[in-house]
């Protein structure tokens, strides 16, 4: 079941991002780590603009992890810098 993006924002601390995504049966909170935000593009930057600029990429990564049943210890999908590096090195997917 693919996730659908509803909203995305930087936490009040400005340290990491959150995506609210729909599963079709409810909402899933996705954590976008500080390092993932910094790794998504050059120059590294962690701010609201960077999150919004790459929100579709973060959403796709999160949806793939959700579909694969990959959750953190709290039961959330967590997009990390490793996930971003894998995404950047993978061939583009045509839909």
Structural domains of the chain, with CATH: 4-89 (3.30.160.140)
Q: How far apart are CA 90 and CA 51, in angstroms?
A: 20
Residue 94 in this model has a pLDDT that exceeds 60: no
| Rounded to 5°, angle at Cα 83 from 49 and 22 | 70
Q: How far apart are CA 77 and CA 92, in angstroms?
A: 22
The per-residue pLDDT for range 71-80, each reduced to its tens digit, is: 999 999 999 9
- Name residues whose C-beta falls within 8 Å of residue 58's C-beta, 6 or more positions apart in sequence: 8, 17, 19, 30, 32, 36, 40, 51, 79
Q: For 10-14, 50-54, 58-62, 82-86, which range has the lowest pLDDT when averaged over its residues?
A: 10-14
The per-residue pLDDT for range 8-52, each reduced to its tens digit, is: 999 999 899 999 999 999 999 999 999 999 999 999 999 999 999
């Amino acid at each position: 079941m693919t996730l659908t993006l509803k909203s995305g924002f930087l936490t009040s601390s400005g340290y990491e991002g959150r995506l609210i995504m729909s599963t079709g049966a409810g909402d899933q909170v996705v954590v976008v780590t500080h390092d993932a935000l910094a790794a998504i593009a050059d120059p590294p930057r962690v701010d609201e603009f960077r999150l919004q600029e790459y929100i579709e990429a973060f959403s796709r990564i999160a949806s793939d992890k959700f579909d694969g049943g990959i959750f953190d210890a709290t039961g959330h999908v967590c997009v990390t810098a490793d996930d971003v590096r894998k995404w950047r090195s993978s061939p583009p997917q045509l839909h």
